Structure 1
Amino acid sequence: MSSRPRFWQYVVLILLAAVFLYPIWWALSSSFKPAADIISDPLSLSGPTLDNYRAMFADVPIGTGFANTALVLLVKGAMTMFFCPLAGYAFAKYRFPGKDLLFGLVLLTLMLPTLVLIIPLLLEMSALNWVNTYQALILPGSVDAFSIFWMRQTIAAIPDELLDAGRVDGASEFAIFARVVVPVIRPGLAALAVLTTMNIYNDFVWPVVAVNDEAHQTLQVVLATLAQDITANRIGADFATVWGELLAAGSIALLPLLIIFILLQRHFINGILAGSVKG
């Protein structure tokens, strides 16, 4: 039998894509419509206008949210992408006492709901005087159990003979990791980069607890309080105005993740497939 997709499979995939993409298209297109038309005729295609974007930038500190999110993403993401592969490499290729127990404890933390950890983390940040600081936004969760597990499973598929060949050539352990392991697991690293970016970019619960001043608010916190900011900064703002600015802010917040996923889509899919098979 031919493995070539049949016509009805294309039809089903196109319909599913339309269902998933239509809300995104509607939000983007509606952000360029006059605010009144969004409520009165949400399915129409009115003439494009930038009024919603101009008003949103004037009413909401979305630039501060983007800057804080970018800083947290760069530093926290770099820490995740550096330390988690190293930890995964140690669990996958080294033998040391208590290795299985320690790895089991790492996996055990995956079963803890995020809400269970908020109060202990907040008390810890308070004891360190890190509340309303970038340290509180960056350090907790920068080395997480899922990333270690992902890297361990990906690196475990590398033949030990490659590592032994590097040791015979006189390479140090870190040189073996950097020159032998990293090039082989590049698809897995790309997948981890996409997942890490999405998790940090969309994180809301911890930032809203760790900081309560506008200077350190991340983008998701700014978006969550956007309606209150609009009504507070504009006396008499109606429902349509709030919706127009909400859609404008949401559309801007969507673009970075959309661009990153499009650029890394092939590597992300290859990494997911590579991480799902061992051997």
Structure 2
Amino acid sequence: MAAPMLTGRRDRPAIGSHVFLIVLTAAFLAPVVWAVLSSLKQPATIITDPLGFDPGAFTLGNYRAMFEDVPIASGFLNTAVVLVLKGGLTLFFAPLAGFAFAKYRFAGQNAIFGAVLLTLMLPTIVLVVPLLLQMRELGWINTYQALVLPGAVDAFAIFWMRQVIAAVPDELLDAARVDGCGEFRIFVSIVLPVIRPGLAGLAVLTVMNIYNDFVWPVVVTSQESMQTLQVVLATLAQNITGNRIGADFATVWGELLAASSIALVPLLVVFVLLQRHFINGILAGSVKG
């Protein structure tokens, strides 16, 4: 009789933790579900009955009006271009820098790495004015160069890769050198396959940071054709009221919820597809070098 009692006692903490996680998940998802369902309601109903949902009255009118009033397609296109170019630069150069800091010894190594880490303490807003002046001198205002190059290889990405690569055994690298491999060949053939989980985790974080970036794109782009998705969403109310005479508060909210719901889709897809790699990457990045 003792065995069933012990089993029951062991199951109770697990049941409690599952209930807690379910409640926590519901609390996080509730605003997202509300926003998506509200985007399918009539604009006036969003204001008069914000918590009521009638599936029979759902409509795509907010989405159709939003596509007519807001250049969200160009916002998606510009964000996609920046994601590919800036994300590619980050995922190429950050592992190389991390490899150098983790596996080589050179004069001033600790000082240089410390200087890199010090940049993490600088608020983004402090760097905006100097960067903007540089972009103006280069003639890069309202260009993809200005959206992509500043911050393409940031200190956090280098630190992350340094921590991950530090866990790679030195014996593997020494054996490759004995076999005649060059340093870049060692990096590509030995290091990259081993750090794949950490690199995948960095990729997810990089996509999220670039996709959600607002401060720099809104400063460096003044032309509507160069605005990224987050800037388009931020100026959505102005675009709606400017493009539609007599647009009221309810109309703005309906189209804003529709645009926000569409903007949620790419990040949700990326996280659902790569959540396993992201979790493994978090664990890999927590290894001390």
> Shorter-chain-normalised TM-score: which range?
over 0.9
How much is the aligned-residue C-alpha RMSD, in angstroms?
1.3
The answer on 1:203 being equivalent to 2:213 is: yes
Superposition pairs for residues 241-256 of structure 1, below 5 Å?
A: 241-256=251-266
**SS in structure 2 at match of 1:6:** helix
Aligned to 1:39: 47
Letter in 2 for 1:232: G
Aligned to 2:230: 220
Superposition pairs for residues 170-181 of structure 1, below 5 Å?
A: 170-181=180-191
Q: TM-score, normalised by structure 2?
A: 0.94
Question: Per-residue displacement from partner, 1:1-21 (whole Å, max 9, x unpaired)?
Answer: 988652111111111111010
The answer on 1:122 being equivalent to 2:132 is: yes
Aligned to 1:11: 19
Question: Per-residue displacement from partner, 1:245-275 (whole Å, max 9, x unpaired)?
Answer: 0000000001000100000000100110121
**SS in structure 1 at match of 2:216:** helix
Q: TM-score, normalised by structure 1?
A: 0.98
Question: Per-residue displacement from partner, 1:127-174 (whole Å, max 9, x unpaired)?
Answer: 111111110000000010000000000000111001111111111111
Aligned to 2:98: 88
Superposition pairs for residues 125-204 of structure 1, below 5 Å?
A: 125-204=135-214
Number of residue-to-residue matches in the alignment: 279
Q: CA deviation at 1:278?
A: 2.9
Identical-pair percentage: 70
In 2, the alpha carbon distance for the partners of 1:114 and 1:154 equals 25
Aligned to 1:260: 270
In 1, the alpha carbon distance for the partners of 2:22 and 2:258 equals 27
The answer on 1:23 being equivalent to 2:31 is: yes
Q: CA deviation at 1:48?
A: 1.9
Q: Which runs of 5+ in 1 are unaligned?
A: none
Q: CA deviation at 1:225?
A: 0.2
**SS in structure 2 at match of 1:126:** helix
In 1, the alpha carbon distance for the partners of 2:58 and 2:91 equals 41
Q: Which runs of 5+ in 2 are unaligned?
A: 1-5
Structure 2 counterpart of 1:110, from 117, 120, 127:
120
Letter in 1 for 2:33: W
In 1, the alpha carbon distance for the partners of 2:246 and 2:137 equals 43
The answer on 1:236 being equivalent to 2:246 is: yes
Question: Per-residue displacement from partner, 1:209-245 (whole Å, max 9, x unpaired)?
Answer: 1110111100000000000100010000111111000
In 2, the alpha carbon distance for the partners of 1:208 and 1:163 equals 45
Q: CA deviation at 1:179?
A: 1.0
Aligned to 2:281: 271
Letter in 2 for 1:28: V
